[in-house]
Chains A and B, each alone.
Chain A
Amino acid sequence: MAVVTLKEFSPSLAKSYNQKSFTHAFWMIFKSKWTIISRYKGFLVFEMIFPTIFAALPIIMGIAFAGSIEAARTNFMLQTGTEDFVSYMVIGAGIYFVVNTALWNFGMLLRWDQQSGVLESYYLTTTPVPVYLMASGLYALSRSMISFIIGFLIACAVFQVNPMKGDLLFAIIFLIIGIIPVYGLSFIFGAIILKYKQANSIMGITQWLVSLFMGIFFPITILPWILQKIAYGFPPSWVTTDVRASLLGLEYYLGSWWADLSMLAFFAIVFPIFGYYFYHRIETSSKKNAGLGQF
């Protein structure tokens, strides 16, 4: 083995603060997160089958209440504009899973890193925190998108739904644009977990609120008036409605795809900026007291 002396390395080398080193740091964080999750195989399998299990309950309940699948379709048509309630539920469950894991993965990721001491190790390095947050965010996004696609296909096979009907391209565009503001929310969610160190209880409450406001198994138009207004300010509600509109031919919120897409693009700019601002405030306040290493 070639032995190199310490003198080959000089502190000036660490001054190579260029774009390439940023990109490499970003890639290494992203890659290491995927390497770690690949060593928890049971987790990945669960993520693939979760949407099917989650959607199965309301689908079977709907058939049981209506008496037959035809009666269930007729009744569902009256409320939602489509009789394909199976696809409706499968899409809702799948998007809920994407949104939920975006929030959950990110918040828990920070918490795990905090508890293991790795978060402080990141803060000791010269890679800026936004790079860590973005790489972790991209990892959580890619993981949930892969799980969504595979989970959706499994659910389609189990419930005998054609996944290729409707405008699939539009649905994917809505999903990608619509998930960006969710990462803005996840910064806020992560910061709250770092501050209050209550990952499980915060996650439990958030999961139910998210499922309520985004209308995973029902149109949000049947929510009470005040809850409807809150749901309109919540980006995941728009994603669910717009993906369903693209795939099942239902109405968009604002009447046309471009108006809804513009609104999601607006959310995609505002929410991450606000989310990072919030995270930064919590981080600074934490450093002024006991620091991020206290857990």
Chain B
Amino acid sequence: MAVDIGQNEKPIIKVEGVSKNYITKTRMGLFKKEIKVVEALKELNLEIQPGEIFGLLGPNGAGKTTLIKILTTLLIPTGGTAMVANYDIVEDANDVRRSVGCMLMGERGLYWKLTGRENLHLFGSLYRVPNDYKVKKIEWLIEVLELEEFIDRPVESFSSGQKMKVAFAKALIHDAPILILDEPTIAMDFAAARKLREVVKMLNKEGKTIIYTTHLMDEAQDLCNRIAIIDHGEIIALDTPENLIDQLEQDDIITLSGEISEKTIEQIKSIEGVHDMSLVSKNGNEHYKIICIDHKKVLPGLITSITANGSVVNSINVEEPTLGDVFIKLTGRSLSEDTTERGE
């Protein structure tokens, strides 16, 4: 990655034993109600280094948004402490807010009767950015995030993706050293999402530390230096995307279609690292499925066997384990499943 993450530096975010309980009331008929305590976070520990893009992955209700709200001073933890940019989230709440630009609540958080530009001016003033810098910054944001076309229209007339772009601009208005982005591309089309990721990478190169939550595994894999997988209020895995996938110890799968001779099959099966090769049928089409430890080591021998024995290959596809597989392995569920006991 472009940013040199100072692993030996003092962490820019340090979470120590943070827990958060919610009290919920369940109606039991007309007058009775049951009071229940839900543990949204369970003594969570976490350190984020300056310059990192840190991914937070987890299904709905896992505790991601609760953690983000604690780090941005919107919630007070039930137990434990957290430091953001060396400021205590409870004792120095205003300094924490100054240090964090936050895109939370998706497209909400903007006045819909005001234009995009009026919203940016308002929130720039609320972050107390000096007026001359604020004006320049808004122009810069309009250009970089390509907002010219709609920024002077009322927000109520925006598409969801346009609202998300302005919400993102709002998070950048006071030039905070830490950015917290909660599913920023959720309502964006492919091109807009790609543009936003480019800006995120650029901001990271400028030295900003970024916490990024997403449901999109490819996005997390593309952007993040490290990823924490959070489930039921606990961090169940924390590492680089590559290490998380390696820890999976899952075989690679190579699919092969074409006219493959018996001799070729025998040779492929004898290649070191190949566990199995079988003929499978899917939607009336037949192809060979090769299960191996590491496709990169197997492929040269595979190609040699095919060419040496005159077999004809129509296509070769490689399926590697993804972060999605890591998530399923760790939690037993896919990311799209909801584990919410109460709304995050």
Same assembly: yes
Given known A9-B175, A125-B127, contact A287–B98 (CB-CB < 8 A): no
Docked-complex contact A8 and B133, CB < 8 angstroms: yes
B residues less than 8 Å from A270 (CB atoms): none
Instruction: Tell me the bound Cα distance from A3 to B105 in angstroms.
Output: 30
Within A220-261, which residues are at the interface with B (CB < 8 Å)? none
B104: interface (CB < 8 Å): yes
Given known A11-B175, A116-B111, A125-B123, contact A24–B94 (CB-CB < 8 A): no
Docked-complex contact A6 and B175, CB < 8 angstroms: yes
Docked-complex contact A117 and B109, CB < 8 angstroms: yes
How many chain A residues sit at the interface, stated as a range, is 35 or more
Instruction: Tell me the bound Cα distance from A2 to B138 in angstroms.
Output: 12
B residues less than 8 Å from A5 (CB atoms): 140
Min CB–CB distance B200 → chain A (angstroms)? 13
B residues less than 8 Å from A21 (CB atoms): 125, 128, 130
Docked-complex contact B75 and A287, CB < 8 angstroms: yes
B residues less than 8 Å from A3 (CB atoms): 140, 143
Instruction: Tell me the bound Cα distance from A29 to B150 in angstroms.
Output: 23
A205: interface (CB < 8 Å): no
- Chain B 25-50, CB-CB to A under 8 Å as 1, else 0, gives 00000000000000000000000000
A10: interface (CB < 8 Å): yes
Docked-complex contact B126 and A13, CB < 8 angstroms: no
Min CB–CB distance A290 → chain B (angstroms)? 5
A residues less than 8 Å from B112 (CB atoms): 116
A36: interface (CB < 8 Å): yes
A7: interface (CB < 8 Å): yes
Docked-complex contact B23 and A127, CB < 8 angstroms: no
B232: interface (CB < 8 Å): no
B residues less than 8 Å from A117 (CB atoms): 105, 108-110
B residues less than 8 Å from A126 (CB atoms): 94, 97-98, 126-128, 174
B residues less than 8 Å from A292 (CB atoms): 74
- Chain A 258-295, CB-CB to B under 8 Å as 1, else 0, gives 00000000000000000000000000100111111110
Docked-complex contact A2 and B127, CB < 8 angstroms: no
Instruction: Tell me the bound Cα distance from A171 to B74 in angstroms.
Output: 43
Given known A1-B139, A1-B143, A287-B74, contact A10–B109 (CB-CB < 8 A): no
Docked-complex contact B99 and A32, CB < 8 angstroms: no
Docked-complex contact B98 and A116, CB < 8 angstroms: no
A121: interface (CB < 8 Å): yes
Docked-complex contact A24 and B121, CB < 8 angstroms: no
Given known A11-B98, A13-B130, A126-B97, contact A32–B74 (CB-CB < 8 A): no
Docked-complex contact B136 and A120, CB < 8 angstroms: no
Docked-complex contact B99 and A13, CB < 8 angstroms: no
B295: interface (CB < 8 Å): no
Interface size on B, residues (CB 8 A): 52
Given known A291-B75, A293-B105, contact A35–B114 (CB-CB < 8 A): yes
Docked-complex contact A14 and B111, CB < 8 angstroms: no
A residues less than 8 Å from B72 (CB atoms): 124
B206: interface (CB < 8 Å): yes
Within B85-144, which residues are at the interface with A (CB < 8 Å)? 94, 97-100, 102, 104-105, 108-114, 118, 121-123, 125-131, 133, 136-137, 139-140, 143
A residues less than 8 Å from B343 (CB atoms): 294
Instruction: Tell me the bound Cα distance from A13 to B170 in angstroms.
Output: 16
Docked-complex contact A14 and B176, CB < 8 angstroms: yes
Min CB–CB distance B80 → chain A (angstroms)? 14
Min CB–CB distance A14 → chain B (angstroms)? 5
B73: interface (CB < 8 Å): yes
Of B78, B111, B176, B206, the contact of A32 (CB 8 Å cutoff): B111
Docked-complex contact B140 and A36, CB < 8 angstroms: no
Docked-complex contact B131 and A120, CB < 8 angstroms: no
B residues less than 8 Å from A7 (CB atoms): 206
B55: interface (CB < 8 Å): no
A residues less than 8 Å from B139 (CB atoms): 1-2, 4
A128: interface (CB < 8 Å): yes
B269: interface (CB < 8 Å): no
A118: interface (CB < 8 Å): yes
- Chain B 237-268, CB-CB to A under 8 Å as 1, else 0, gives 00000000000000000000000000000000
Q: Which of A6, A27, A35, A287 has its CB near the most chain B CB atoms (within 10 A)? A: A6
B residues less than 8 Å from A120 (CB atoms): 74, 104-105, 109
Given known A8-B136, A11-B175, A293-B105, contact A124–B74 (CB-CB < 8 A): yes
Instruction: Tell me the bound Cα distance from A185 to B329 in angstroms.
Output: 56
A residues less than 8 Å from B128 (CB atoms): 14, 16-17, 21-22, 24-25, 126-127
Instruction: Tell me the bound Cα distance from A13 to B176 in angstroms.
Output: 10
24 A-B contact pairs sorted by A residue (CB < 8 Å): A1-B139, A4-B139, A8-B136, A11-B98, A11-B174, A13-B130, A15-B98, A21-B128, A28-B122, A28-B125, A28-B126, A29-B122, A35-B113, A39-B154, A117-B105, A117-B109, A117-B110, A118-B108, A118-B111, A124-B100, A125-B127, A127-B128, A287-B76, A294-B343
Identify the B interface with A (CB < 8 A).
22-23, 69, 72-76, 78, 94, 97-100, 102, 104-105, 108-114, 118, 121-123, 125-131, 133, 136-137, 139-140, 143, 154, 170, 174-177, 202-203, 206, 342-343
5 A-B pairs closest in CB distance: A117-B108, A21-B128, A125-B126, A28-B125, A9-B175
Identify the A interface with B (CB < 8 A).
1-11, 13-17, 21-22, 24-25, 27-29, 32, 35-36, 39-40, 116-118, 120-128, 284, 287-294
